[in-house]
Amino acid sequence: MSIPYQIAIVGMSGKGKTMAFRNMNPETCGFINAEGKPLPFINKFKHYCTPNSWQETYQKLIEFGKNPEITEVVLDSFSAYTDSLLKTAREIKKGFDTWNYYNEEIGKLLFLIKKYPKDIIVTAHSANVETEEGVAERRIAVKGNEWNKTGVEKDFTIVLFSEVNLSSGKREYILNLLSDGKTSAKTPPIFIEEGKESMPNDAQTFLQHVRKVLANNK
């Protein structure tokens, strides 16, 4: 078995992040709908849940990671998780302790994702952030100066940006594999076909591509 990959799909609201999962295998994909909203496609997932809190989401991640029927897990979304976490932090902590608690719990989630035993895909909203070099960049949105300085992308192997392409005269949802200098998108070169820095907005197709490349390069 190949080493599991940590993939983030990032973008603004309405850019097709959740729609990217419409073709995931409903038998083997564990889908955690932390957003709590209806999916934009017919839900046929055998392993599906809508947690009521970030704590519940964390436990479901652990549970799905141990389930032998599940081969890949989707967390939709990192943004809903951190919003719920911040609400709790503000309720039980005061002052700097609020942010210390918030940062510590985000660190625990990122460690879990980094060490996850299966392929995991996490969606996240994007935000314009000034990097340590003073450059404006679209990154995974997360509150707190600590994460805005370093970014959470370092804990993901692949970061895809979900965009809408109108250049052909019609609305086309795509996943950008590499940064254009304005985003934190990144994909290892081994997974990029020559001349193709984007692909149709389909997480299952991309995941199959990653697995095929890894199988052919054992």
Indicate if the pLDDT at residue 1 is higher than 60.
Answer: no
Tens digits of per-residue pLDDT, 168-190? 778 889 999 999 888 999 999 99
Which tokens in the block code for residue 104?
């510590």
Which tokens in the block code for residue 127?
């935000």
Share of the chain above pLDDT 70, in %: 98
Closest Cα partner for 177 from 168, 167, 163, 169? 163
Tens digits of per-residue pLDDT, 104-151? 999 999 999 999 999 999 999 999 887 667 778 899 999 877 777 778
Which region, left, alpha or beta, applies to residue 190 given φ > 0 means left and ψ of -120 to 50 means alpha?
alpha
d(CA 50, CA 181): 36
Contact in structure between 204 and 175 (CB atoms under 8 Å) = no
Tens digits of per-residue pLDDT, 11-61? 998 889 999 999 999 999 999 999 999 999 999 999 999 999 999 999 999
Contact in structure between 80 and 35 (CB atoms under 8 Å) = yes
Is the domain 6-216 a CATH 3.10.20 member? no
pTM: 0.94
